[in-house]
Amino acid sequence: MFNSIHKDTNMVPQIHSPQQANQAADDLRLIRLNQVMAKIGMGRSWVYAKVAEGAFPQPVNFGGRAVAWLESEVDAWILEQVASRKAS
């Protein structure tokens, strides 16, 4: 599966500078559930309920029960919550 994903050049970021390499690494940083909960201030049940509703980013499954979230997606979700608060 890994090879088939990376054969698609749309999935592979084009990196031309050290700054772009750092940004690509930040965009792909994975965080575990305890880090997600600490970042958003909500508990395990809330996180999984919102994932099931489609209202929170989906975790990346590593097989078995091992999952993690892309930190960039969690951060984007936080920014959306702040923006919606300002719009209200």
Going residue by residue through the chain (88 aa), what tens digit of pLDDT does each one get?
334 344 444 555 576 776 666 666 667 999 999 999 999 999 999 999 999 999 999 999 988 899 999 999 999 999 999 999 877 7
Give the pLDDT score at 37.
98
How far from chain centre, in Å, is Cα 15? Answer: 20
Does pTM top 0.75 for this prediction?
A: no
40, 74 Cβ separation under 8 angstroms: yes
The reported pLDDT for the residue numbered 13 is: 58
> Which residues have CB under 8 Å from 62's CB, separation 6+?
68
Handedness of CA 24, 30, 34, 40 (dihedral sign): positive
